[in-house]
Structure 1
């Protein structure tokens, strides 16, 4: 005897569900309802239980897609996750502090984060990984190299688009600025960057990674007063993580070279 739902054959019911899911924009239920219905029948699930499974599957998938969109919008140059950060290779970085930061309370409060250390010590990895955690938590995030940001601001100022550009960067919940301190900025560039930081102060978070200790920032921001003001904006009420001077990336490369040398001997 053919199963019927309100007078529909099972085939017609499937077609009606497919059509309704398209109309209501429920792609996950549309793709999974057959498997979930069969599992519900096997497990003798109640109607309420089956409905809950369907709706939760749709909600979970929507949350995943939103996270993927936010991560893509952040424009990270590469994928970096906290689970792949080697805390044993860099004892300067406290895993407890980093995992607390991964909860993103500092982003909700609009506080800054500074990652300071030499090349190869994991600054950019942590910057991208914590930015990714923030995006997954529902925050709007944007990653940019310091030089690229300053060049964009200078071009915007020349084209009378500065206010619009600063506002665009002001709209994100977390602005991640990488490689701050790698090159000297002229006074105009430094002042424009200061405007972005001022626009965000105590309203939205800024996270930076720099290869220079704060004492060396006068090489990047040559005006001492402006330098002091920028350091103040980036440190007040925030977190500072010093990743040290020993490049674990270099150490890993040397270890691999040693292993291959021993293997050939």
Structure 2
């Protein structure tokens, strides 16, 4: 008596193989492989791929999908107030901003080295837009990012301090490779608040990247932190390994309003 051979499907896949692969991809948590292995197998047969080429194509599809989902998650958990990109930023109104420096920062290598970025300039110069754009680039590069205003960072630290868990909160924040502190200088801090802010900066010194935007030059940070000595110590830690960008030029928002008004007048003429 002869034993019946295992049958094959029209595409060349052995009976039972799809269910086995479905099971294995669930166990391995590789859903993209589970969804595309058959389609790529057909393409491999048609184009005479080697086993290695087929495996590489399948793994590349899985990795690309995972990285895409990871980027979406990192951007979501960064809590940006809005998604702004560097590509959407009009650099023409900031002639002092070096394009090569901005392009280098966009690679995210400063995060890998735990370096800092300081954006200084008057209101409306585009500091927040650039900070968010660089944060988004860092998220795409695989780095965890957390964004908030200086006042909200302080509120977070005050709550932790009052609950007796400031050190635990600082440790939690250190898990993020990049934190962005927006709008330093808009609201003055009392000495106790300034000390909390100093602890945040000191806890990340050479451990994680900090990006700061401020409307004040460094010489006036003593006004914000109620103490020139504390301000100097904070600046020393921030700029030790940092790229400092001084933004000068027309207000981004004012220029946009002027252009809008000009178009409106031209439309009425």
Count, aligned residues: 262
Distance 1:224 1:2, change over 3 A: closer
Work out the CA distance in 1 between the residues paired with 2:24 and 2:198. 52
Matched, 1:29 2:33: yes
**How big is the shift at 1:6?**
6.9
Distance 1:260 1:15, change over 3 A: farther
TM-score (norm 1): 0.91
TM-score by length of 2: 0.90
Aligned residue among 97, 111, 119 for 2:123: 119
Q: Equivalents in 2 of 1:227, 1:37: separation in Å?
A: 62
- Cα separation, partners in 2 of 1:112 and 1:7, compared to 1, 3 Å: closer
Distance 1:82 1:193, change over 3 A: same
5+ residue gaps, structure 1:
none
Match of 2:201 among 176, 182, 197: 197
Cα deviation, 1:196-246, whole Å, max 9, x if unaligned, reads: 111111221111001111122222111111111112122123110011152
Matched, 1:91 2:86: no
Does 1:239 pair with 2:262?
A: no
Instruction: Indicate how the Cα distance of structure 1 residues 218 and 56 shifts in structure 2: closer, same or farther if over 3 A, else same.
Output: same
Instruction: Name the SS for the 2:219 alignment partner.
Output: helix
Report the equivalent of 2:10. Answer: 3
Q: Distance in 2 between matches of 1:203 and 1:48?
A: 41
**Aligned alpha-carbon RMSD (Å):** 1.9
1:184 aligned onto 2:188: yes
Residue 213 of structure 2 is aligned with which of 203, 209, 214?
209
Mark the runs of 5 or more structure 2 residues left unpaired by the alignment. Answer: 1-7
Matched, 1:18 2:22: yes
Describe the superposition over 1:25-44 as per-residue Cα deviations: whole angstroms up to 9, x where unpaired. Answer: 11112222333233323323
Per the TM alignment, residue 2 of structure 1 is displaced from its structure 2 partner at its CA by: 5.0
